[in-house]
Amino acid sequence: MSTHKRTREILLRTTFLDVDQIVDELRTLRITSLERRNRHDRPPRLPARKILVGVTEGLCAALFPNRLGSSELADEGVDHYVGHVLNTTLRELMVQIQHELHYNSGLEVLSSEDRERSISITQDFAKQLPEIRKLLESDIKAAYEGDPAARNVDEVLVCYPGIMAIMHYRLAHVLHGLGVPLIARMISEIAHSVTGIEIHPGAQIAGSFFIDHGTGVVIGETAIIGQNVRLYQAVTLGAKRFPVDENGALVKGNLRHPIVEDDVVIYAGATILGRITIGRGSTIGGNVWLTRSVLPGSNISQAQMRHEVFEGGAGI
């Protein structure tokens, strides 16, 4: 054993840190927080992020077993592998769905209705996996055809952060629609933490979607994106303002993000805010700040928008 390792072990055995008071203070804060949220008793479990990481990896492996599955996979064993991965992964997902439903119910124990609902949601989600695969194939093809640096579609699948983020989004979007928005958001945020690309699972995004480079892209909850749209890094499809109710609380769920029609290209750093429409076939230049709708076939540059900001007050 090295001297450094021996010294470390001696310090670990002999050093005492008094944390009792800290534990007491944290318990008091925890109980107060639970009481404030009417969670007086033992709170129900939330879905576990660590498990959802594994669930998402398993689903991606089942969708693309030859590229994202086991490196030891033989051709004749692909179907068996996919079936095994799906059985294991979907059961894990069902348990996490039960946690979310139980948490939302406010009941002490999981009800039989929510248990049955978790099974139904899991089965409905599984049935949509082939359609998710079709959409992802269109996204991968769009990335390959839209990036001159891409040498083949396999490189796009295993290397591109935009494809990773879109893959997580497509899985999360289905779960969001099936009534488990917390799990959906957690899956999207797993990709966000790795890629720097934030796509809310409530957004509606058609096929052949390509995010090039990707870091800093933000797509809001009520955004709608058409077919064959391409975004570059640091693009924001966001809300212009956040209305409040009579009590000063934010109004949630209103349509507040842009609609981007088919065949639109939005270059790096563009910020598009509010429930506006970017017409089909338009090109939005880099670093543009846009808060008004544009007609189909428009070509919007930063110089045009700078003139409008100072002359017409747009964006203020």
* CB 275, CB 257: distance < 8 Å: yes
Stretch (H or E) spanning 219? strand 218-219
Question: Are the C-beta atoms of residues 281 and 264 closer than 8 Å to each other?
Answer: yes
At residue 310 the predicted structure's pLDDT band, cuts being 50, 70 and 90, is: very low
Q: Burial-class residue 305 by CB neighbours within 10 Å (0-12, 13-18, 19+).
A: buried
Same fold, 43-195 and 216-316: no
Q: What is the pLDDT of residue 2?
A: 73
Q: 305 or 17: whose pLDDT is higher?
A: 17
12-44 confidence digits (pLDDT tens) = 777 778 888 999 999 899 888 888 877 666 677
- Helix/strand/coil for 231: strand
Q: What is the pLDDT of residue 37?
A: 74
pLDDT at 215: 96
Give the C-alpha separation, 268 to 284, whole Å.
9
Q: How far is CA 195 from the centre of its chain?
A: 10
Share of the chain above pLDDT 70, in %: 94
Q: Where are the domains of the chain?
A: 43-195, 216-316
Each residue of 259-283: b (16+ CB within 10 Å) or e?
Answer: bbbebbbbbbbbbbbbbbbbbbbbb
pLDDT tens, position by position, 222-254: 999 999 999 999 999 999 988 888 888 888 889
What's the half-sphere exposure (Cβ side, CA atoms, 13 Å) at 138? 16
Question: Tell me, what's the pLDDT at 253?
Answer: 85
- In the predicted model, what is the mean pLDDT of the chain? 91
Q: Which helix (H) or strand (E) holds 259?
A: strand 259-260
Residue labelled with tokens 């506006």: 276
- Which CATH homologous superfamily contains domain 216-316? Hexapeptide repeat proteins (2.160.10.10)
Contact indicator for 225, 236 with CB cutoff of 8 Å: no
The CATH superfamily holding the domain 43-195 is serine acetyltransferase, domain 1 (1.10.3130.10)
Predicted local distance difference test score (pLDDT) of residue 73: 75
Q: Is residue 301 a contact partner of residue 283, using CB atoms and an 8 Å limit? A: no
Whether 200 and 219 have beta carbons less than 8 Å apart is answered as: yes
Of all residues in the chain, the percent with pLDDT exceeding 90 is: 75
Whether the pTM exceeds 0.85: the reply is: yes
Distance CA(68)–CA(160), nearest Å, equals 13
Distance CA 112, CA 162 (A): 40
Residue 1 has pLDDT above 70, yes or no: no
Q: Which two tokens mark 208?
A: 């052949």
Locus of tokens 């935009």: 162
How much is the CA Rg of the chain, to the nearest whole Å?
A: 24
Q: To which H or E segment does residue 299 belong?
A: strand 299-300
**DSSP at 75:** G
225 strand-pairing partners: 205, 260
Torsion of CA 165, 98, 87, 123, to 10 degrees: -80
